[in-house]
A and B are shown apart, each in its own frame.
Chain A
Amino acid sequence: MSGVRVLVGTKKGAFILTADGKRDKWQVEGPLFGGWEIYHMKGSQVDPNRIYASQSSGWFGQVVHRSDDGGKSWQTVGNEFVYEGTTGTHQWYDGTPHPWEFTRVWHFEPSPTEVDTVYAGVEDAAIFRSQDGGQTWHELSGLRLHNTGSSWQPGAGGLCLHSIVLNPNDADRIFVAISAAGAFRTDDGGKTWLPINQGLRSDYIPDPNAEVGHCVHHIAHHPANPQVLYMQKHWDVMRSDNAGDSWYEISGNLPTDFGFVIDVHAHDPQTVYVVPIKSDSEHYPPEGKLRVYRTTNGGYEWEALSNGLPQRDCYVNVLRDAMAVDKLDPCGIYFGTTGGELYGSADNGDNWTPIVSTLPKILSVEVQTLP
């Protein structure tokens, strides 16, 4: 029977949870890298034993680890993230120019076809690519050097490139999202980039319809339908049917359209999940009830999924990279909270179970479906 491996990055280390295809009994391993912040871990689709981990701390900086045996052992790989060419400046919080400074890796995205190719989204916002399994990193500098780059401004979490979406059929097409610059697309393998924010409206910036400056929290797509993108923006849940050329709002009947995560069902490109959060001033679920919302028709109409989730006194958040889906049937959905709870559903989100309840603050959740 096939199984799943859930990769959990937390404020104080990494955890790896495994289960067979029933997904009802879990083994928890960790903490790995105890005491370090693990912003993200992600495994390769080409070789599930290949996993990357982004380990960082305010004291000691960034360390990238790689495992080639499914997380049993780890080795440090390359940590030279050097901006190419003119470093330049972006806007600081007070509007003054601030030089680009590398801080950490927020997100790894392994290639779906090349085992040694992996992308890294970093703070201050840039995308790097490694073609040797993480030993060396090279910036795709056309993004940072875009003519709007000097106007990009950090969100509260920093000027971070947190979302990377690869097209399974076209290696030259990549989508990224940056807080708080917006979404961008390349169609030439990263040489040139196009802001794809038409249709986004953000009332917290001077021009609500600006080309850049939108605080995109996360983007996702289904590999079978890569023209369709879903976005959880700071406020508003959005959809694009033309690879980001334009967006329209699909918040519909959500109790609030603020939130961080968004993900797509493994087998149905029209089924999407979000976790509404009350507001940008109150980063917790409305009414103290933790609810995942699901649409099965691509937006507008959302249903609350609460079976097994706390429905009183719950004031946690779910961060932007802290939801993932497995590829089993029925599809499994997983998300982690800032309170250290990891919830899982083995039936498309209908019912939820706390898999672990006392981890450190969860920063990211990824899942691998194992043969």
Chain B
Amino acid sequence: MIRVIIPHHLRNLAGTGAEVALEVDGVVTRAALLDALEGRYPVLRGTIRDRVSGERRPFLRFFACKEDLSHEPPDTPLPEAVVRGDEPYYIIGAIAGG
């Protein structure tokens, strides 16, 4: 199972806890992982990726294994530790305040 940590507002929207466990078929990429996440929680469509372009929304980042993977192409395989479920995949909202 892939472990995905999603931000506070998306947890509320989807009615989940902080961590979601997902089965992802085939090669585990960011695109495949987000497809699986949105498949289980359709309300999240458009909240992480732009509905039209499919691009990451600008104020979101993707972290795993202490690396910022936000700029990796969406079809790049995720780290083995994420695929094995040893490490979570983080969807992070940009920090903002004032």
Contact = CB atoms under 8 A, between A and B. Distances in A.
B57 interface: yes
Interface string B4-24: 000111101100000000000
Nearest to B93: A59
A60 B43 contact: no
A102 B48 CA distance: 15
A76 B94 contact: no
Nearest to A80: B51
Interface size class of B (residues with CB under 8 A): 10 to 19
A80 B7 CA distance: 22
Contacts of B60: 59-60
Given A79-B45, A79-B51, A63 B8 contact: no
Interface in B37-94: 43, 45-48, 50-52, 57, 59-60, 93-94
Interface in A52-89: 57-63, 76, 79-80, 82
A35 interface: yes
Contacts of A82: 51-52
Contacts of B93: 59-60
Contacts of B52: 82, 102
Interface of B: 7-10, 12-13, 43, 45-48, 50-52, 57, 59-60, 93-94
Interface of A: 34-36, 57-63, 76, 79-80, 82, 102
| Shortest 7 CB-CB contacts between residues of A and residues of B | A60-B47, A59-B59, A59-B93, A76-B43, A61-B46, A79-B46, A61-B47
